[in-house]
Amino acid sequence: MSFLSATLSRVKPSPTIAMTAKAAELRAAGRDVIGLSAGEPDFDTPQNIKDAAVAAIAAGKTKYTAPDGIPELKQAICAKFTRDNGLDYAPAQVSVGTGGKQTLYNALMATLNPGDEVIIPAPYWVSYPDMVLLAGGTPVPVETSLENRFKLTAEQLEAAITPKTKWFIFNSPSNPTGAGYSWDELKALTDVLMRHPHVWVMSDDMYEHLAYDGFQFCTPAQVEPGLYERTLTCNGVSKAYAMTGWRIGYAAGPVELIAAMRKIQSQSTSNPCSISQWAAVEALNGTQEFLAPNNEMFKRRRDLVVDMLNQIDGLTCPTPEGAFYVYPSIAGLIGKTTPAGTVIDSDEAFATVLLEEADVAVVFGAAFGLSPNFRVSYATSDAALTEACTRIQRFCASLK
Ligand SMILES: Cc1ncc(COP(=O)(O)O)c(C=O)c1O
């Protein structure tokens, strides 16, 4: 009998982290690898946020806190939901965790029983299905299409719902496609959910502030107030405020669910880092002025990457609404052979040879549940993006 648990055997390690590690390994060996696989902004945490953390340390705010967040942060989160989303939550409806990841995980751990199904539009953020499996539930991926710009349709959602469905996980703008749902597109989904009162909604709004070309972000409980009582609205400071290492995420929803999540957190990690919580108070209450110039920069990079990738024969790259990812299809390259003789028979093979033969690290689509594609993270400099896309162009042109 294995020493390791049966649950663990159902879960795979994060492929995005694996790809980033492989690129780092090649770099350490002296290769000039350009990494387009990391899911974090390339700029530093804004100074006012860092200052707030330093001040918290100086003031001795370095002890255990309430398990799911200090009152000051919960207040700042409630104010954020009112300001940005028109959603009213009381502090008792808010849970703060160690990254957005922990709040999502707590919610699944708190609610899933064996046999419970969780609908996850594909391609999806790699952690959703594995977190569902760890919590004992059954992930139900539903494949979207490039033709529909990677967005789930009302018909697809309707067809996926069964009496066993517990949650529908919704992520807009999306990792890995950048696809953002308009109000009308989301309303079509919430109309379906209104017909199925047993289904709860987990909305992962992590990329809310990263949206371009005037895209108006919206979230399910805002679009359909009738879902408020069965929606967990999740967000965090990691991406918009360049705070991935600080590990603060949060969620708001019905008091009973929040209390259950608190119980799990209090018996696992206790509270998120006290200093990071004070930094997050400043992130949410302080100036938001840097968001607009950052978005200008991301939009420029998105357009650069989409343009250069679409010049490649056999590759199709839609222009997404937000986040910092694009998810091109390589359907037109499948079956071709590299100069070294490797046949590109899958997106995993494509990403592997692209790294080995062209020194560019991307993540293959199968990791996100929709093939044949790959994910490019454009959260890196214009110069690195231009060079990386030139290498991808050259590599694809060399395929026979
Ligand atoms: C869609 C999505 N949700 C949640 C997270 C988790 O964020 P955090 O670093 O705050 O745990 C990520 C991070 O990559 C993400 O892409």
Q: How far is CA 14 from CA 11, 19, 121, 244, 356, in A?
A: 9, 9, 18, 16, 20
How far apart are the CA of 86 and the centre of ligand 1, in A? 23
pLDDT score of 201: 98
Rounded CA-CA distance 73/285 in Å is 9
> Angle at Cα 234 formed by Cα 71 and Cα 262, nearest 5°?
50
Number of neighbouring beta carbons within 10 Å of residue 292: 10
Fold: same for 6-44+290-395 and 63-285:
no
- Model confidence at 1: pLDDT above 60: no
CA of 100 to the centre of ligand 1 (A): 6
The pick from 175, 247, 250, 375 for probing ligand 1's pocket by mutation, whose C-beta has the most ligand atoms within 8 angstroms, reads: 175
Q: Which atom of ligand 1 is nearest to the CA of 244?
A: 9
Residues 325-352 have a mean pLDDT of 96
Q: What is the mean pLDDT of the chain?
A: 96
Report residue 20's pLDDT band, with 50, 70 and 90 as the boundaries. confident
| pLDDT average, residue stretch 61-80 | 98
> Tens digits of per-residue pLDDT, 202-244?
999 999 999 999 999 999 999 999 999 999 999 999 999 999 9
How many Å lie between the centroid of ligand 1 and the Cα of residue 101? 6
CA of 175 to the centre of ligand 1 (A): 8
Q: Which atom of ligand 1 is nearest to the CA of 247?
A: 10
Q: Which pLDDT band, with edges at 50, 70 and 90, does 100 fall under?
A: very high
Mutate to test the pocket of ligand 1, among 77, 128, 181, 206 (most ligand atoms within 8 A of CB): 206
pLDDT tens by residue, 148-192: 999 999 999 999 999 999 999 999 999 999 999 999 999 999 999
Q: Which fold has domain 63-285?
A: Aspartate Aminotransferase; domain 2 (3.40.640)
Closest by alpha carbon to 68, among 283, 268, 284, 202? 268
Closest Cα to atom 7, ligand 1: which residue? 100
- Quote the CA–CA distance of 180 and 257 in Å, as a whole number: 27
Is 6-44+290-395 assigned to CATH 3.30.300.30? Answer: no
| Residue with CA at minimum distance from ligand 1 atom 1 | 175
Cα 157 to ligand 1 centroid, rounded to whole Å: 23
Q: Where are the domains of the chain?
A: 6-44+290-395, 63-285
Across the range 241-251, mean pLDDT stands at 97
Compute the average pLDDT of residues 71-78.
Answer: 98
Ligand 1 center–CA 275 separation, angstroms: 20
